[in-house]
Amino acid sequence: MIKFKKNTLKKRSITQRWITNNLAVVVLIMISIMLAFVYAIQTFYYASARQTLTSELTSIVNLLNRYAQDSETNLSSEMRSTFESFSAKDKMELMAVNSKGRVVLTSSGFSPSAGTIIPDYENLLNGGDGYWVGKAENQEKIMAVCADISSFSSEYHAVRVVCSLTEIDRAVGTVIIGATIVCSMILLMLVLTGIYFVGSIIKPIMQVSNMAGKFAKGDFSSRIRYQDSDEIGDLCKAINHMADELSTAEEMKNEFISSVSHELRTPLTAIKGWAETISYADNDPETVRKGMNVIVNETARLSQMVEELLDFSRMQSGHFTLQKATMDVLAELGDAVLIYMNKKVQDNIRIEYDEPEMLPFVYGDKNRIRQVFINIIDNAVKYSDAGGHVRIKAFEQDGNVCVSVSDDGCGIKASDLPKIKTKFYKPNHTRRGSGIGLAVADEIISEHGGSIDITSEEGVGTTVLITLPPESHET
């Protein structure tokens, strides 16, 4: 229930953001463009109507002027006949205004009632251009243009042409409706594509969040299916990869816990068994000696393992520290080799140590370096069969201190080799070990600026090469 609520909230918020950031802006821009367009169209139509009225009025005024110049003609009667025969009667109306400001002659024959205000004439009298747009007495919208003819006519003061704007307004209205339809369609398309687009983002995000919820519960079985190779595709790929890694880590951790438990149980069983045997073998010093020997060895193995686990845990929490000082690698390697030399008879494994006279000093933690040597030699002995041969060699190469440990044991499969230094990785379950020794060793050597390189062939043997940089004079 809570999950559903959360998801709806997320979905709404992305959609809301899209509406405010995108759609609202587009709608505002479109409304502004439409208003500007409508204004431009109306201005254009009105300007052409005014142009037509003005040119019509100008030709009438010119004609009347000519009549006035001609002494043989009577201007009043000529005017009347001109008004009667006005050719554009159906589109506009011609009117003559007398000196009292009253319309006294019209091309249609109907005069407006007395007292009707003629704004274009008023405008002309006030020094304006005699142009007016407004509502007539019958509430019809009209346009009027007025011209002064008082210079050549004493009876009439001005002539005006008036036309109805109903047709023009209707045409402008049609354009507005057309533009509104086009804008609405564009908006509709925008909304549809936007919904599709927002949905295409929200859907995988919801999948990712569902998956993350499952991963948090420890279920790494599901994967996100997303085909497109865009940024969301990259995110889904990264999440799927993370799930792979987490599931591998989980498997390894489980395996690690079971192998560590097993590792702990074996020496404990031996210790318990021998302790019991000793308690009943007071008179058998040989049994006591043998038993004590096993107990000491197994206890040493146990404490070595616990140390390894503690180191590993310190490494994970970032509390792994080194006490560095100038050190002689040969001394530490000699100690490590000695431990295994003493065991060689018991394990029936031949250990050969090729020791050089001198090696450059190294700036490092001698205990940790010795621990690495012990671990690598221990592996070589552990993964060798009875009668095996382990060769340890220390030498200088390109100024670096190198130690190689080779064995002719079981070797490592080529497919396992790249992962062998990974924590918990333990391909060979038949041998004892926790799978963290090499991970710890690798970390220690890396902290010293060196490297561990492993070459191996399954069934032939393994060579581990430890390279450490010499102590530099700046350190």
CA distances for 78 relative to 62, 67, 72, 158, 413, angstroms? 13, 7, 11, 15, 121
| Rounded least distance, CB 385 to ligand ADP, Å | 11
Q: Which is nearer to ligand ADP, 224 or 380 (CB)?
A: 380
CA distance 264 to 271: 11
Reported in sequence order, the residue ranges of 149-187 that DSSP labels E, i.e. its strands, are 156-164
Considering only residues 36 through 95, tell me which ones interact with ligand ADP, judged by CB under 6 A.
none
428 binds ligand ADP, rule: CB under 6 A = yes
* Residue from 359, 377, 401, 438 binding ligand ADP (CB under 6 A): 438
User: Residue 439 Cβ, how far from ligand ADP at the closest point, in Å?
Assistant: 6
Whether residue 455 contacts residue 406, with contact meaning beta carbons closer than 8 Å, is answered with: no
Rounded to whole angstroms, how far apart are CA atoms 362 and 471? 4
> How many residues lie near ligand ADP (CB under 6 A)?
21
* 383 touches ligand ADP by CB under 6 A: yes
Q: Are 124 and 192 in contact (CB under 8 A)?
A: no
- Is residue 466 near ligand ADP by the rule CB under 6 A? no
- With beta carbons less than 8 A apart as the criterion, state whether 225 and 243 touch: no
Q: Which CB sits closer to ligand ADP, 287 or 428?
A: 428
Output the CA–CA distances (angstroms, integers) from residue 50 to 161, 166, 395, in the order listed: 10, 14, 106
Rule CB under 6 A: say whether 427 interacts with ligand ADP: yes
Contact indicator for 440, 452 with CB cutoff of 8 Å: no
Least distance between ligand ADP and beta carbon 353 (Å) = 16
Instruction: List the one residue from 157, 160, 366, 426 that touches ligand ADP (CB under 6 A).
Output: 426
**Contact pattern for ligand ADP over residues 279 through 308, marking x by CB under 6 A:** ------------------------------
Structure tokens that stand for 250 in this block: 């989980």
User: Residues 468, 446: contact at Cβ < 8 Å?
Assistant: no
**Residue 471 in tokens:** 């102590």
Report d(CA 19, CA 10) in Å as an integer.
14
Among 437, 448, 466, 468, binds ligand ADP (CB under 6 A): 437
371 part of the interface to ligand ADP, by CB under 6 A = no
When CB distances to ligand ADP are compared, the closest residue is: 433
The answer to whether 130 contacts ligand ADP (rule: CB under 6 A) is no
Pick between residue 356 and residue 427 the one whose CB is nearest to ligand ADP.
427
Residue 388, interface with ligand ADP (CB under 6 A)?
Answer: no
- Please report how close the Cβ of residue 427 comes to ligand ADP at its closest, in angstroms: 5
CB closer to ligand ADP out of 106 and 462? 462
Give the nearest distance from C-beta 390 to ligand ADP in angstroms.
9
Burial class of residue 465 (count of CB atoms within 10 Å of its CB; 0-12, 13-18, 19+):
middle
Q: How far is the CB of 354 from ligand ADP (least distance, A)?
A: 18
Side-chain-side CA neighbours of residue 91 (13 Å): 9
Binding letters toward ligand ADP, positions 323-362, x by CB under 6 A: ----------------------------------------
Stretch that binds ligand ADP, among 248-256, 316-324, 426-434, 466-474 (CB under 6 A): 426-434
Nearest approach in angstroms of CB 423 to ligand ADP is 8
If residue 261 lies in a helix (H) or strand (E), which one and from where to where? helix 231-279
Distance CA(81)–CA(95), nearest Å, equals: 13
Tokens of 133: 């747009």
Q: Which of residues 402-421 bind ligand ADP (CB under 6 A)?
A: 407, 409-412, 420
Give the residue with the Cβ less far from ligand ADP, 380 or 394: 380
Does residue 191 contact residue 19 with C-beta atoms inside 8 Å? no
Element holding 407 (H helix, E strand): strand 400-407
Distance CA 353, CA 380 (A): 13
Decide: is 436 part of the binding site for ligand ADP (CB under 6 A): yes
CB 423 within 8 A of CB 435: yes
380 binds ligand ADP (CB under 6 A): yes
Q: What is the largest CA-CA distance in the chain?
A: 170
The smaller minimum CB distance to ligand ADP, of residues 296 and 460, is found at 460
User: Contact positions toward ligand ADP, by CB under 6 A?
Assistant: 379-380, 383, 407, 409-412, 420, 425-428, 433-439, 462
